[in-house]
Amino acid sequence: MRVLVTGSAGFIGSHVVEALREQGHEPVGYDVREDPGADVRDPAAVRRALAGVDAVCHQAAMVGLGNGVADAAEYVSRNDLGTAVLLAAMAGAGVRRLVLAGSMVVYGEGRYACPRHGVVRPGPRAVADLDAGRFEPLCPRCGADLSPGLVGEDAPADPRNVYATTKLAQEHLAAAWARTTGGTAVSLRYHNVYGPRMPRDTPYAGVASFFRSALARGEAPRVFEDGRQRRDFVHVRDVAAANVAALRAAGPPQGALTAYNTGSGEPHTVGEMAVALAAAYGGPEPVVTGEYRLGDVRHITADSARLRAELGWRPRVGFAEGVREFARAGLRGE
């Protein structure tokens, strides 16, 4: 299969290219880092890149929580306009298979259960609570403590920052394209991806990159809130393998978009990641700061059973092994 990989020089995209090649496919790279003319928002350039292509693996995106709404226009341009241009070109070129780099951020907060009211969806956290160190969301009906659980693909979307909103819009655009063209679209909703070639410490990097960058500077990783936020850290090679599985799968229906959570299935706290990474690197122990980012959520962990059952994928890199490797691996400068 000849596969156009947008964002092919990026953190995840570069691993997808390698995984495709290892499985006997022909990846076609498309990335502004390697070619300034390879902008996914350029219709003519995208049309040229699609020549002879069987499928598209769309990784190109502006990622991370960013700077509130100050960079909203840039997020929408890169993520949503770029996706719209790509899909229009695919429709014209007759390319009918798409795998989209989705994200767990479309859910907002994760799944919570109240002892009295069952599964509930807490609203956005209040500044006053965060300033006072009250980080855990409470039951919106009775104010009781909640138990976090695994979120499934059928949970309602509730994006809580600009980046999350653009990732949900990408899915809606892909679904519209699939209905119009009869194409097959898969969104892999990545959880917290980490591993070699992760971008260096920027406002758009993931938390594991922030910790690794601090250690490289000889500084202690700074853990926000109380460090007990639950996340699903999934290794980048496992994410790349999920992309290959989605491209070759016969299961996803034509004319629709199918979403798959893509996570390890083993929740860890942010504090656990910081401690494990510092120990593996041999650097200073983490410092819990109590700081917070307003657009962030407390707990979000995946139920990836659908991906395992329908596409035959399973993660192969365990948390301890992956963290040890990441501690030794270089970061990609941006």
245 token code pair: 């599985």
Which of 72-81, 195-204, 323-332 is most confident? 72-81
Q: What is the pTM of this model?
A: 0.95
Given 30, 75, 163, 292, the catalytic residue:
163
d(CA 192, CA 278) in angstroms, rounded, equals 18
Q: Please report which confidence band the pLDDT of residue 142 belongs to, taking 50, 70 and 90 as the band edges.
A: very high
pLDDT recorded at residue 206: 86
Length of the chain: 334
Higher pLDDT, 334 or 238: 238
Specify burial of residue 127 (Cβ count, 10 A radius: 0-12, 13-18, 19+).
Answer: exposed
Mean pLDDT of 21-29: 98
Specify burial of residue 220 (Cβ count, 10 A radius: 0-12, 13-18, 19+).
Answer: middle
pLDDT recorded at residue 204: 66
pLDDT recorded at residue 333: 67
Q: At residue 334, does pLDDT exceed 50?
A: no
Instruction: Tell me whether residue 112 is one of the annotated catalytic residues.
Output: no
What DSSP string runs through 209-260? HHHHHHHHTT-PPEEPTTS--EE-EEEHHHHHHHHHHHHH-S-SPTTEEEEE
What does the mean pLDDT of the chain come to? 94
Which candidate, 169, 53, 163, 154, places its Cα nearest to that of 111?
Answer: 154
31-69 pLDDT tens trace: 999 999 999 999 999 999 999 999 999 999 998 876 778
CA atoms within 13 A on the CB side of 137: 25
Which candidate, 191, 305, 304, 312, places its Cα nearest to that of 251?
Answer: 312
156-213 pLDDT tens trace: 999 989 999 999 999 999 999 999 999 999 999 999 999 999 988 766 678 999 999 9
Q: What are the residues whose beta carbons fall under 8 Å from the beta carbon of 121, sequence distance 6 or more?
A: 109, 112, 140, 156, 158
